[in-house]
Amino acid sequence: MSRHQEIDPIEAARRLFAGPVEFRLSAPALEFLPDPKVPEVAFAGRSNVGKSSLLNALTGRHGLARASTTPGRTQELNVFDVGAPMRFRLIDMPGYGYAKAPKDVVARWQALVFDYLRGRVVLKRVLLLIDARHGVKPVDNEVMDLLDKAAVSYQLVLTKADKIKPSELEKTLAAADAAARSHAAAFPQVLATSSEVGTGIAELRAAVAAAAGELV
Ligand code: GDP
């Protein structure tokens, strides 16, 4: 029996993320990424979805992912090493769908993301973040189509759940569930989270650790 089976997944994941998590590098293109030697779990979502805040909440580190004040500015893959010795990596993907982004920025985003999704053999899962106030937008659906095409397993995660009433959250969850079920590569379970009040963060840690192959 592996030592992970003796404690529950939530506790195992909590311990994992309580250990070292280090920023490794920012990669403007695939060739700048570290050698693909450990599993990777990537985070994607529209600009301002709350991705930096969620990464900080997940890892319990305030300044780990920079909460950017300029939506759409970050155009690189930010890589974080989890564990010492390193067990797996978190990949912070550039935000998408910023209406004012110039065309070349959008084209660069697509090229980088597509290269990564198609070409990264160690990518185990993408967590696709959706603002709970807005639900799944057409641009999110486009990204889900892209993920289906790249045959990358992905899971929807609602962010900022504290910003809406529980009854509205239920509706958004049901709609996100339906969206996930209509996509081939989407993981059926949708998680609701709040970085602000901590809702769903422990479950998200367990989902990330499981996707990285840590809880088997
Ligand atoms: P990013 O652009 O996707 O990295 O988004 P940020 O993490 O920078 O968050 C965008 C804005 O949403 C910031 O003003 C955050 O303070 C706010 N925010 C992020 N997560 C939450 C949350 O769970 N609850 C609330 N109320 N606000 C949040």
Write the CATH number for 114.
Answer: 3.40.50.300
Quick one: pLDDT band at residue 3, thresholds 50, 70, 90? low
Does residue 150 fall inside a structural domain?
Answer: yes
Cα of 47 from ligand 1 centre, angstroms: 10
Does residue 91 fall inside a structural domain?
Answer: yes
Does residue 76 fall inside a structural domain?
Answer: yes
Atom 25, ligand 1: which residue's CA is nearest? Answer: 160
pLDDT at residue 126 tops 70: yes
Report whether the peptide linkage leading into residue 36 is cis, meaning its omega lies within 30 degrees of zero: no
Does residue 2 fall inside a structural domain?
Answer: no
Q: What pLDDT sits at residue 72? A: 44
| pLDDT tens digit sequence for 69-80 | 444 446 889 999
Percent of the chain with pLDDT over 90: 73
| pLDDT tens digit sequence for 155-209 | 999 999 999 999 999 999 999 999 999 999 999 899 999 999 999 999 999 999 9
Averaged over 33-61, what is the pLDDT? 95
Cα of 161 from ligand 1 centre, angstroms: 11
Structural domain total, the chain: 1
Residue 32 belongs to domain spanning: 9-211
Q: What pLDDT sits at residue 74? A: 62
Cα of 131 from ligand 1 centre, angstroms: 9
- Asked if residues 77 and 92 have their Cβ atoms less than 8 Å apart, the reply is yes
Does residue 3 fall inside a structural domain?
Answer: no
Q: What pLDDT sits at residue 64? A: 79
Pocket of ligand 1 (CB under 6 A): 45, 47-53, 67-68, 71, 95, 159-160, 162-163, 194-196
Atom 18, ligand 1: which residue's CA is nearest? Answer: 50
Q: What pLDDT sits at residue 28? A: 87
Does residue 4 fall inside a structural domain?
Answer: no
Does residue 169 fall inside a structural domain?
Answer: yes
The string over 55-69, giving b where at least 16 C-beta atoms fall within 10 Å of a residue's C-beta and e elsewhere, is: bbbbbeeeebbeeee
Percent of the chain with pLDDT over 70: 93
